[in-house]
């Protein structure tokens, strides 16, 4: 399966970025195409399964509201998060690395079939949204 990788430095500490990512409902804020998240009682933990509801924008090959399950495969607090999105049939591997007091480098790898509405720009768009949500008043 094709793999696409994007990297971006966020203007926030690694702990602030992780705290944002650790709240399951925030996924809808930064992951393109997700409108709602209904996490199971485990939250962000290996083996957790969250119900995902997609946005209402249909494409030629995709129904109006795509849904599926997010399966959390690996969690290394403040460092790594790995999950699968079953509705889109993609795997996600996100790494965090502190590059300064209020700076975090995020490496996002997405693996799957990039057709039927799934764009190769997905990791870059996701990191752009995460950047907008996580930046702090750190000096640029």
Strand partners, 71: 49, 84
The CATH number that applies at residue 108 is 3.30.530.20
Query: How many domains does the chain fold into?
Result: 1
Six-digit token string for 68: 């599926």
Note the pLDDT of residue 116. Answer: 47
Q: Does residue 140 belong to any structural domain of this protein?
A: no
DSSP annotation of 22 reads H
Render pLDDT for 82-132 as a digit per residue (tens, 0 to 9).
999 988 889 999 999 999 989 999 999 999 876 544 578 899 999 999 999
Q: Does residue 139 belong to any structural domain of this protein?
A: no
User: What angle, rounded to 10 degrees, do the helices at 122-134 and 14-22 form?
Assistant: 110
Residues spanned by the domain of 69? 3-134
Predicted TM-score of the model (pTM): 0.86
Render pLDDT for 33-85 as a digit per residue (tens, 0 to 9).
899 999 999 999 999 999 999 876 655 555 544 578 999 999 999 999 999 99
């Amino acid at each position: 399966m094709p793999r696409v990788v994007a990297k971006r430095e966020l203007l926030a500490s690694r702990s602030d970025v992780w705290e944002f990512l650790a709240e399951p409902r925030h996924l809808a804020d930064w992951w393109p195409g997700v409108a709602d998240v209904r996490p199971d009682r485990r939250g962000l933990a290996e083996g957790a399964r969250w119900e995902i509801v997609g946005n209402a924008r249909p494409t030629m090959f995709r129904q109006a509201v795509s849904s599926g399950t997010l399966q959390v495969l690996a969690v290394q607090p403040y460092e790594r998060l790995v999950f699968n999105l079953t509705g889109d049939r993609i795997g996600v591997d996100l790494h965090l690395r502190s590059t300064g007091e209020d700076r975090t480098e995020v490496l996002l790898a997405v693996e799957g079939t990039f057709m039927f509405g799934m764009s190769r720009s997905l990791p870059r768009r996701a990191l752009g949204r995460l950047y907008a949500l996580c930046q702090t008043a750190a000096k640029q």
